[in-house]
Amino acid sequence: MSLKRLRIEGVGLALAVFVIDRAVKALMVGPLTLREVGLIDLLSMFDLRYAENYGVSFGMFSATSLEMRFGLIGVTALIATGVCIWMLRETARGDILGLGLVLGGAIGNIYDRLMFGYVIDYADLHIGEWRPFQIFNLADVAITFGVLILLARSFKSREKPLDSGDHGATENA
């Protein structure tokens, strides 16, 4: 597969994640009126629960002023730009797709921060009262899975056996 096609796939995946994230968030605050009702019980371990996240993961670095909000947007936009550049330079399909997930999720959350001043979260996974995660959204899931793909591929690439031409160089080093 050509590099151009791989990069188009990565950008397409990022765009798809962004569009689906926007659609789901619009569904939550629109027809489902989650903002008004606060909670929709779905399963014994999963609910839809409206939350506004003014920070980043786990509410850290909460933006309590306009300056902090735009600072947070700026930092996350720089990170997203770095991810985009990395994706456009990458040659491995798995890494490109992982980066596409991260980029799409990041853009989805940046959009929320720009438009509303916070990120809309709605997914509440729990076991009784115990919550292994904070309330999250589809963009967060895409970022998490993208990072996990990149980490797994990174560990896998370290385990590649050396070919016969590399053994002499290693032994003499």
Per DSSP, the residues of 48-73 read: EEEEEE-SSGGG-S---SHHHHHHHH
13: Cα within 13 Å, side-chain hemisphere: 23
Q: What three-state secondary structure class fits 161?
A: coil
> What is the spatial order of strands in the sheet that 46-53 belongs to?
39-43, 46-53, 119-125
Backbone angles phi, psi at 133, to 5 degrees: -135, 155
- The answer to whether the CB of 99 falls within 8 A of the CB of 88 is no
Q: How far is CA 136 from CA 47, 57, 82, 125, 140, in A?
A: 11, 9, 24, 9, 6
Q: Which residues are catalytic?
A: 121, 140
